[in-house]
Each structure stands twice: as C-alpha cells, then as structure tokens.
Structure 1
C-alpha cells in the first residue's frame, strides 16, 4: 500500500518533519519556477516564429537566397537556376528564367551566354523569351546588335552562336517588318557586321576592309536582291566610328569578392571635405567591409571601409532623410576611421573621415542597411582591451580627484 505524505511524517521525529517539510516547500517552489521558465520559453518560441514570418525577416532571407543563387549561377548556370527554382526565387518556366537573366544584377555575362546557347528544349525556350525582352522596334540593325550583344557574352562554339543569332534575326524582323525580305537576310547581314567590327578594330588584322568591299560581300543577300547601298554605307560608318562594346567578366580578386554580397544598393554618402557635399554611390557589403562605387558596373571601388571596431547609429540630418552613420565608439576625441578612398589618379589613399554618414531612399531601406552592417561589424580584442584600460584610468583619476578634494 502506497504511503501518503502524512504517513511519512508520522514516522519521523519532530525535527526531521520540519526538515522534510522545508524540502517539500523548496521542491514545490522549484517546480513552480520551472513551469514559469517553460511558459516563458514557449512565449519566446512563439515570438521567434512570428518574427520569422515578418516581411522584414522574409525579405532578408530572400536576399540571402538570391545572393547564393547568383553565386551558384556564375560558377555553374544550370545548378544556379536549379537552386533558385528549388528555393522559390524564380518559377521553373522559360519566361521567368529569362526575366531573371535579363534583369538580375551582377550576373556573369559569360555564364548567361553559356546557358542561352545550350540546345536543351528548356534552354531554347529561355533563349527565345530572353531575345523577346529586347526592344528592337525602329532601331537600326547596328544599334539592335549593340544592345543584344551587351546583354550577355557570345559563347565560342559555332552551334551556340548560330542558335543565338538566328533568334536575334527573328526578333529583329518581327519588330521591324519590311526592312528585310526574310530573316535569313538579317541573319547574314548581322554576321557580316560582326565580322566587319573585328576586321576594323582588331590590331592583328592589317588589311582593313573598305566600304566598297563591305558592299560587295553583301550583294544579293536580300532574297536574291541587293540591299539599299545607303543602308550598308550607314552600317559601315557606324561600326568604323564606334566598335562594339563586348562585356567582359573580370576575374580579379576584387571582382570575385562581390559574387555573393551581404547587401548592395544605392545610398547617398556625405563627403569628408569642408563643404560636406552629398554624392550618390553604389554600396556593396561583403566580408566585414563596405565598398562604394560610382556605378554598379565599375570594377574598382571609390572607397573601402573596413567595419572592424566601428559602430552604426541612426542620426537626424536637416538636409537628408533616413540617415545613419558609422563611427568609432569610446575614443574621447574623434579619431580617423581606418578606411581608404581613390584619389584623382585612381590610387587608394587613407580616408579622412571621423564618421561616415549615409542617407537611404526610405525608412525600411535604412533599417535593412543598419541591420546588415551590424551583423558584419567585427571587434579587435586588443582594441577593446585598450579602451577598457582608458576607461579604468579615467575612473581612477576621477576617484583620486574626489579623495584629494
């Protein structure tokens, strides 16, 4: 038969009964405290679940996945697309993939060309959708080619080039009906223009083609008829005056640094000079450093701000809204931030900022930048030790003063 608590007490002396009652009381208090902690943990879990579902949290998570997908695409286009589809960043259909290739920033142009040139059914569909995103209406053939060949880097394989130029010719003729008798004319002339560009502007080609030769080589290509001579003269003059700009994907360490940035976008930056002017700069946050460029496509930054030992705070500025600034904490007197900027000759020199003040386009954008920067701020233990010593010395000096007084 199971003994009750009263039965147990009756078997003990008075002093032992008091001890046992005290143990039971402590046990009851401990169990109550554990229940309270359990309840608080459940509340925290619910708050975390709610936080993960907020638009801000989802936006940050999506940015991370987009950055990872871009890095994967730049190294292996098919794996990158597969990752982005699996993580619901893009839909698995040709139009959505084409939109991604056409609009997503910092994609490797060579990787885009390789993906578009594949002969798989999906890749061919994406190629057609990609070409259809170009607006060629009322553009001369040379201008349309310039636009098209800047959106990716033409692959080296002849079959890939053939498929891509055929898609271009079809799209151009659709946008400009009546210019050529058929798409084959546009296809042949487009290749002739590309060849002309190489011949005129490649230093290794010693004998440059003349206008007469260019006209001669394109006779009879318009469904057996000649194209208007003035059209060919205009094309020749255009290419001779300005060569095609072929996109190049740099392979320097600096370029590789920005394959997977934590955050990037436009901000206004206040200058460090006497007049504190504001300039629009493109910022990239990566590997505990903040880089800023004049334009997103620039390969070399205008400045580099290592985030070591810096802090970030929101500030009010009468001239600009949504401001925040980077600063060195607990130094007593303002100190120069260890950062670098490009001088007039493009060389990186020591910056002269005690703070870096930036202005975002909106309040949510400012909050995102501040959150991302905070995550990337790193501490140097030696710096913290020196700062602690300074505080201790300051406090000791104050105490000594009080004693003396």
Structure 2
C-alpha cells in the first residue's frame, strides 16, 4: 500500500480491502471497501485519526513506517466500531506515550469491545481543541450518526473535516479523491441507505452545522475523499429530506406464480397512471440495492404468498430490514395470495412499525388471480395515483 499526501502535514495512511464482499455478515460489498486512517503532523505533536480493521494491522503498520511516523501523541477515535478501532491495542503497544481522545460513550465502548485501559483515554467534549503546533484539531460530538458515541474531527487550518462513517462509501478504489461522480453517487447512496438512513433526522440537523463550516475537504472513513464538499453535502441534503419521488417499489417473492402475476398486473396499472414502478424480485437479491430503492420510493407494496400461517420467510426478512432502516416512505400496503388461511397481512404490518407510512387497503386473495383481482388491483392503483398526485412531499 501507499501513503498519500492530502495537504501539507496531512496524510492518508489507511488500507484498501479489495476483496471483501460482506460487511457485518449482512451488507453486500460489490466493490470492496477501504479503512481510511489519517495522520496529522504538527510542530509539537502528531495525531492519528482512526485506525483500521484488525485484519489489516500489518499493512497499517507498514504505512506508518512509510510515513516516517516515529511518534504518535494523540489517537483520535471518532467511532468505536472495530473496522475503525480494531488496530488500537497494537498501536497503543507500539506507541506507549500516545493517548486516545474520544467521547465518554466511546470510552465505554472501547473498554467493552477492545479492553482498552481507561488511563490511556482522554474524554473530550464538543468544542474542545487539541493544539498540535501550527495545526489543531477540533472535536464535535454528533451522537446517533450511526452510533451513540460518534463525533467528527475538524482541522481548521487545513479546512479538513474527518467525519468517520458519515459521507462514506464502501468502495475499494486507487483514487484518493472522488474522480467518478456517477459511480461514487451510487456507492455513497447505497452506503447511506444501508447504514445512515435509520438516523436521517439526526443527520439532517448536523448537516446544518456542517454546512456553515469552512471546509475544503471531507475525508470519511470509507471510500474516496471529497475535494468539493458541496457535492456530497447536497446529496445528503436530498436523501435526508422529507421529499420522496413518484416511485412505487414492489419487493416480492412468489412460490407458484400467483403473487408474481399480481405484481405484473399492478405494475402495468401503475405505469398506465404515470407512476414509476420498481418490481424487485427478492429471490437471490442484493439487500443493498433494495435499501437504495427505499431511499426515494413514495410507496412500498410488499408482495408475498402465505407459507403455512404467515408471509414467506424472504418477505419477513425484507420487512424486518426495511423497518430497521426507517425509510421516509409515505404509503405502504400488501398484495399476494394464500391457499387456505393465515395472517400474512397482519404479520407484515406488525413488522414495520418504524415505517411511518399510511397503510393502504391490501389486496390478498385465495388462489390464483382472476378478473376480480384485476378489479381490486385497479382500485389500489387508483388510490396510489391519487395519493401521489395530492401529496406535496412527492416530487413529480
């Protein structure tokens, strides 16, 4: 790996994980990821901002050597999750005079996750600064930007914001700065949808504070850096807003074809009414792509057959995950078929309490769809079209 200069006295020394394809045994990583770490050298002190995943400790130490780093006085931990803090025990051993700077909640987590001794930790509060000599670091607490202990670090002299996971993207790339906006937008949106969307309201408040700061570079903990901060700030402003688009997302699974036929019927009916429709077959699907679709969809229609007494297990998982990420969806309903009974519709509703959407009348039938089903789906399409037309939060 290589050490790269961001600006004078500020270096990128993290590592790239080209081959990782799953994060937390949950999140697909189609293009790998990176664990970004930064070194800031002042005339008096040297600070390390975040570390890397413990599986890359050897490469990380190699980068410190390449950066000619013979001392570390301060280790800034913006966030305690192990992909950023996992190498801390080794760094503390190699640099016995170094102190960790983090929030009080982060201190508790570092003790629980990594058994970090409390005497190596300095608890900071928002607005506190660390003078490195000619350059300084300011700490700003931003709880519930992903975890409750999160903070960001700002270097006013270099106009660099180090926000850890905020504004990141799971993207293994050899480019230090974003050089492909289209590709980065997809991966950053995917990252937002999977990780940041549950904390949309908190992030929206913090965006106001960040937008007033004098920032030339945003250096997140995953993916490329942004040397044009308004680009990613504008994206987040849109994603965290209450605005949705004229889109109906239909995640579905079908066993014997009945539910799939209903999905195709509803898709056509909605298209005839000028609505953008996204049928999403859950069989073998990528949950990250589904999460991305949830960012903008005004309406979500869950399509599932009944298995014994309830929804198909794939739909149970999907509804549960959708509930976790808390999309700003305005309307939701259920369509599908059953053989002899069950409580599928009630079960789906019970799985999505955090989706603060208006629940529209379901279309759930016994057996295969026929003319009566088409009539009921036509009524549902009319209701959705009317809701979309009248809702001021839906961008037409």
Per the normalisation by structure 2, the TM-score is: 0.25
Higher relative contact order (CA 8 A, sep 6+): 2
Which one has a larger percent strand, Structure 1 or Structure 2? 2
Q: Which has the larger radius of gyration?
A: 1
Per the normalisation by structure 1, the TM-score is: 0.24
Which one has a larger percent helix, Structure 1 or Structure 2? 1
